[in-house]
Structure 1
Amino acid sequence: MPSLRSSSRTSLRPALTAAAVLTSTALLATACSSSATSPSGGSGDSGDSGGKQTVTFMGFYGTFQDAFTKTVIKPFEEANPNITVKYVPIQNSTEVLAKLRASTARPVADVALMDSSVAPTANKEKLFAPLDASKVPNLAQLVDAAKSKDGHGPAVTFDSLSILFNTKNVKKAPTSWNDLWNAEYKGKLAMPIADTRGVALIVALEKILQADYKQDIDPAIDKLKQLSSGVQTWQPSPDVYTAIQSGDADIAVGWNARGQYYKDSSGGVVQPVLPKEGTVTQVNTINLVNKSQNTAAAQKFINYAIGAEAQKAFDDEAFYAPVNKDVKLAADTENRTQASPEQQKNQIPVDWNWLTTRYTGWVDRIKQEVIGG
């Protein structure tokens, strides 16, 4: 579409008659009107206007961003040349929640990742919108654990909590959550647990201590207090995986998928371990932001991200377990993910919907009584 500036220059040419100027102006007004934002949801919201659209996607930073861009975003853009996906890296789900709360009138994103312990809060506050199943047909291909009961964003990844260790510095590999309290690891622990990792660890410790996390988490909090003096850092920089790889810390708590990714990139220096008592599944959801100005393009992107092609490519690269039932990972890859028979056998059941109402309180107790105690 020509700009107003170029049209005005053209109108000054002697060869252009007054009638032609009027015709040109009318055509320009029509063109601008057709591309204006519609009341129902944004420029090009129908998805077939032919105009270039940008979907702003909030996703986790670092290796997640690298793998997701390579295996999901770039193939999607190639298949949909009229849509560009802008990746906005974020630290965690709490940051996403804060940014969306601060921009409800004009959201800063169209699609956002958020873990399942925080997403129900965003749904309740109407920060996310329900998906249109006719626009996201891959919803029908999801495994049951990935489906949203209320029609909001489904799971896009499955992961699990693990122990990480530096294979050069640690001669005897940890096998249990209880090994975190071993005297030989004192002063060498990295414990970034003021988030979902800490919440999941409390659930695991409650099982070990034969307590019920829905009734009383004092046993797990008291156990973590005993660990405090042995912790080198509660907030490793830039992240716990780099701290283990560099040897700044020898033992840590982190997520299996990133641990597996760093195992390969570090040449085996970083090693994730599934503790013998079992572990806790972590679920990341992919969500349509309410009042998105690119609803059709955003739902098309979500549909692709949970589709079999994207799921297999991403999980092969990043070691998450697939949410799409049509995906079959190679055995050597599957055995390193939450989908492995061993991990499936050792999953500790968690009621994340219930935990949503306790999440902030638990994290506050970790910060105040364990880290700050």
Structure 2
Amino acid sequence: MTNHLSRRDLLRTTGVAGLSLLGGGLLSACGAPGGSSGGGTELTMFHWAGAQGEVPKRIGDAFAKKNGVTVRYIEGTNAETFPKLVTSVQVNAKKPLLNLGFFNAQSFAQGAGEGLWAPVDDTLVPNAAKVLPEFRRPDGLGVYTVMDAMGILYNTKVITTPPKSWLDLFSPEYRGRVTTWDAPAFSVNAAPVINKLKGGTEDDLSKGIAAFSVAAKKGQFNGFVSSIDQLRQQLNSGQVVIAPGFQGVAQPWIDAGDPIGFAVPSEGVMAFPEGFQLVKGSRSAQLEEAAKLMNEILAPAAVSSYSAATATIPLIEGAELPAAFRDKPGFQLKTVKEAIQLDWALLAKNIQQATDRWNRDVKAYL
């Protein structure tokens, strides 16, 4: 990849147009809400923890002060927060847990299927028109802003040569020192990727789950992680030496000097779009202010800042890929072009079936 390659050129020539079909959302562990008080309308925004939350929270605080509203925050990951949102709407459809949230592909698709999302009004969110065409949602439910790459995280003190394959997760060499995420967070636990590599499709994860089942019976896994901080701690300590994980999550740890590496598997990284949703059931005033806040988060300069903070690839026209990432393997044109793509909408329709099989064939043996 050359430094002058534009974001549009990068993504249009990579063969990732199929991602426009994705639905989606992800992980989790929700923290206690914090917030900035400006009075007026009260909004609750969900953002991911750590570096992923810095830019949205900074923009939210500035927005609250400028517009005389109160913005409260729920910090964490999709895996726990999304189910809590679903439960809140089931209890009272007019009092959702949050009004504006940052979700991954799996949660995007699940939420659309369950009727959770409110449409994005282009007059209030003009920056939505700057999303690269390949990543626009035709249903108008939510806006993708960045793309992350999922590969393999590993402890560099124990594994001195980067892993080369997704199947290294099952190597006997690492028995008892592998982790992943529990169901139903299939967007991050690598089961759909392994399933695809073994000839399966997103509407039936049995082939991938069978591989995890065999490994679980042999004692391959140390257990499941339930938060990003837990994953980092286990990798740092050597309790776990290899796990599926995201480049955008790992890069700040690597920059901080953690003994953690990110490997691009020979079969390809998993492409993972992420973005914002408005939650149906919010009051009209909340939806209006949340849409305006979304628009500011989608501004090219804001997306550039988010990309720089999170090692993700911008999907907004005019946003720049930070120079510090242009020579990293996970951002190379070849890597993005050869990324493994999932049909998130199809996956979301079969989450319960896959979860039941996972609980029976994998979790039961840990």
Letter in 1 for 2:294: I
Q: Does the CA-based 8 Å contact 2:47-2:101 persist in structure 1?
A: yes
Q: How does 1:84-95 map to 2 (within 5 A)?
A: 84-92=70-78, 93-95=82-84
Distance across 1 between alignment mates of 2:39 and 2:222? 53
Distance across 1 between alignment mates of 2:76 and 2:322? 30
1:279-334 Cα shifts (integer Å, max 9, x gaps): 22222231112232322211111111122011001110111221202112133324
Q: Does 1:307 align with 2:296?
A: no
Q: Does the CA-based 8 Å contact 1:58-1:96 persist in structure 2?
A: no
Q: Does the CA-based 8 Å contact 1:197-1:254 persist in structure 2?
A: no
Q: Quick one: structure 1 residues 291 and 363, their matched pair in 2 at CA, closer, same or farther if it must change by over 3 Å?
A: same
Match of 2:314, SS state, is coil
| Corresponding position of 1:104 | 93
Letter in 2 for 1:295: L
Match of 2:225, SS state, is coil
Q: Quick one: structure 1 residues 322 and 100, their matched pair in 2 at CA, closer, same or farther if it must change by over 3 Å?
A: farther
Distance across 2 between alignment mates of 1:339 and 1:74? 31
Distance across 2 between alignment mates of 1:200 and 1:144? 28
Q: Does 1:234 align with 2:221?
A: no
Q: Which residue, 49, 56, 63 being the options, matches 1:68?
A: 56
| Corresponding position of 1:132 | 121
Letter in 2 for 1:277: E
Gaps of 5+ in 1: 1-49
Match of 1:372, SS state, is helix
Q: Does the CA-based 8 Å contact 2:162-2:261 persist in structure 1?
A: no
Distance across 1 between alignment mates of 2:322 and 2:47? 26
After TM superposition, give the deviation of residue 151 of structure 1 in Å: 1.3
Q: Does the CA-based 8 Å contact 1:52-1:84 persist in structure 2?
A: yes
| Corresponding position of 1:224 | 212
Q: Quick one: structure 1 residues 357 and 102, their matched pair in 2 at CA, closer, same or farther if it must change by over 3 Å?
A: same
Letter in 2 for 1:91: T
Q: Quick one: structure 1 residues 346 and 193, their matched pair in 2 at CA, closer, same or farther if it must change by over 3 Å?
A: farther
Match of 2:151, SS state, is strand
| Corresponding position of 2:287 | 295
The answer to which of 362-371 and 213-222 deviates more is 213-222
Q: Does 1:351 align with 2:343?
A: yes
Q: Does the CA-based 8 Å contact 1:96-1:114 persist in structure 2?
A: no
Q: Does 1:246 align with 2:237?
A: yes
Q: Quick one: structure 1 residues 338 and 193, their matched pair in 2 at CA, closer, same or farther if it must change by over 3 Å?
A: farther
Q: How does 1:40-79 map to 2 (within 5 A)?
A: 52-70=40-58, 72-77=59-64
1:157-185 Cα shifts (integer Å, max 9, x gaps): 32122211111222332111121122221
Q: Quick one: structure 1 residues 254 and 129, their matched pair in 2 at CA, closer, same or farther if it must change by over 3 Å?
A: same
Q: Quick one: structure 1 residues 208 and 151, their matched pair in 2 at CA, closer, same or farther if it must change by over 3 Å?
A: closer
Distance across 2 between alignment mates of 1:318 and 1:292? 29
Q: Quick one: structure 1 residues 263 and 172, their matched pair in 2 at CA, closer, same or farther if it must change by over 3 Å?
A: same
| Corresponding position of 2:27 | none
| Corresponding position of 1:82 | 68
Q: Quick one: structure 1 residues 106 and 225, their matched pair in 2 at CA, closer, same or farther if it must change by over 3 Å?
A: closer
After TM superposition, give the deviation of residue 250 of structure 1 in Å: 1.1
Q: Does the CA-based 8 Å contact 1:240-1:254 persist in structure 2?
A: no
Identity across the alignment (%): 22
Gaps of 5+ in 2: 1-37
Q: TM-score, structure 1 length as denominator? A: 0.77
| Corresponding position of 2:321 | 329
| Corresponding position of 2:273 | 283
Q: Does the CA-based 8 Å contact 1:197-1:253 persist in structure 2?
A: no
Distance across 2 between alignment mates of 1:99 and 1:340? 41
After TM superposition, give the deviation of residue 336 of structure 1 in Å: 4.7
After TM superposition, give the deviation of residue 257 of structure 1 in Å: 0.8
Q: Quick one: structure 1 residues 221 and 183, their matched pair in 2 at CA, closer, same or farther if it must change by over 3 Å?
A: same
| Corresponding position of 1:172 | 161
RMSD: 2.5
Q: Quick one: structure 1 residues 218 and 121, their matched pair in 2 at CA, closer, same or farther if it must change by over 3 Å?
A: closer
| Corresponding position of 2:249 | 258
Letter in 1 for 2:231: V
Q: TM-score, structure 2 length as denominator? A: 0.79
Distance across 1 between alignment mates of 2:352 and 2:232? 25
